[in-house]
Amino acid sequence: MLDVTGLGHAFGANQVFTDISLTVNEGELVCIVGPSGCGKSTLLRSISGLMTPKSGEILLHGQPVRGKVPGDLAVVFQDYSRSLYPWLTAAGNVEFPLKRLKLTTAERKERVREALEWVGLADAGKKRPRQMSGGMQQRVAIARALAYRPALMLMDEPFASVDAQTRFELEDLLLRVRREHDCTVLLVTHDIDESVYLGDRVVVLSRPPATVAADMKVELPAQRDQIKTRASEAFVSLRSEVARLLHGSGNSEENETEAAEE
């Protein structure tokens, strides 16, 4: 569904990445991890058509994405406080992008109701962002993306701004919704454990100028559990491998500390 080939980008003299190639197949959840500054957000912005990279090609359903935002794509950013319209209710926020689609009012309302139900906010449709916790606001952002029914959902550190408990809940919510509704997801995270817990594959980027250091299949049962999965031998071994690759790429102190903890 998504084919990225030989992507390279520089901001002035700052070569961020060179020769990034990756694919995401229909129905897959692929996580990208990499050291700070290796261009993860730049890569997602390029795929979403918000910017044009200097070299390489991005094909979505075989069609090139070059500086135009594809219609069947949705993006969820880390910063929920800036991604929701504060003057709209939760339902209004979810409904807003649907106005671009050719739907009747009844169909639009039904999609909003359904998406809010998926994320456990069936009763919160009338609340405004300021009346909701951070975790609830991020659920609204996810509901908005899901209601749109994108062919591909891009998520840039979607759970980085919420507390640990909410993060676990939102991770499981993503896995459940994705299982039940067949979404294809490309998700960027700083968190090695999260990448292994969520991913069908983990793509590890090296430090800048970044390339793909590894593209690993996550051999864990599809049904995951925050306690059992994270304690399993397969999980521990995979996370060690990702940490080793990040460490091996000679990146930031943060990742070196993680690797040292193995």
Ligand X SMILES: Nc1ncnc2c1ncn2[C@@H]1O[C@H](COP(=O)(O)OP(=O)(O)OP(=O)(O)O)[C@@H](O)[C@H]1O
Determine the Cα–Cα distance for residues 93 and 125; give it in Å rounded to an integer.
Answer: 9
Burial category of 210 from C-beta neighbours within 10 Å (exposed 0-12, middle 13-18, buried 19 and up) = buried
215: left (phi over 0), alpha (psi -120 to 50) or beta: beta
Q: Check residue 40 for interaction with ligand X (CB under 6 A).
A: yes
Determine the Cα–Cα distance for residues 228 and 250; give it in Å rounded to an integer.
Answer: 31
Strand order of the β-sheet with 212-217 is 73-76, 152-156, 185-188, 29-33, 201-205, 212-217
Query: Which regions of 67-184 does DSSP assign to beta strands (E)?
Result: 73-76, 152-156
CB atoms within 10 A of CB 179: 14
Of residues 151 through 170, those in contact with ligand X by CB under 6 A are: none
C-beta of 9: minimal distance to ligand X in Å? 8
Of residues 6 through 25, those in contact with ligand X by CB under 6 A are: 11, 14, 16
Determine the Cα–Cα distance for residues 123 and 118; give it in Å rounded to an integer.
Answer: 12
C-beta of 238: minimal distance to ligand X in Å? 21
Asked whether 207 and 251 are in contact (CB, 8 A), the reply is: yes
From 38-46, 68-76, 134-142, 163-171, span contacting ligand X (CB under 6 A) = 38-46
From 32-40, 60-68, 89-97, 234-242, span contacting ligand X (CB under 6 A) = 32-40
Q: Which is nearer to ligand X, 4 or 90 (CB)?
A: 4
Q: Which is nearer to ligand X, 46 or 93 (CB)?
A: 46
DSSP 75-87: EE-S-HHHHS-TT
Of residues 199 through 258, those in contact with ligand X by CB under 6 A are: none
Q: Check residue 36 for interaction with ligand X (CB under 6 A).
A: yes
Q: Check residue 32 for interaction with ligand X (CB under 6 A).
A: no
Q: Which is nearer to ligand X, 38 or 142 (CB)?
A: 38
Structure tokens at 73: 């794509």
Q: Which of 3, 21, 37, 241 is in the footprint of ligand X by CB under 6 A?
A: 37
Q: Which of 2, 4, 33, 39 is in the footprint of ligand X by CB under 6 A?
A: 39
Q: Which is nearer to ligand X, 76 or 98 (CB)?
A: 76
From 40-48, 112-120, 175-183, 236-244, span contacting ligand X (CB under 6 A) = 40-48
Site of interaction with ligand X (CB under 6 A)? 11, 14, 16, 34, 36-42, 190
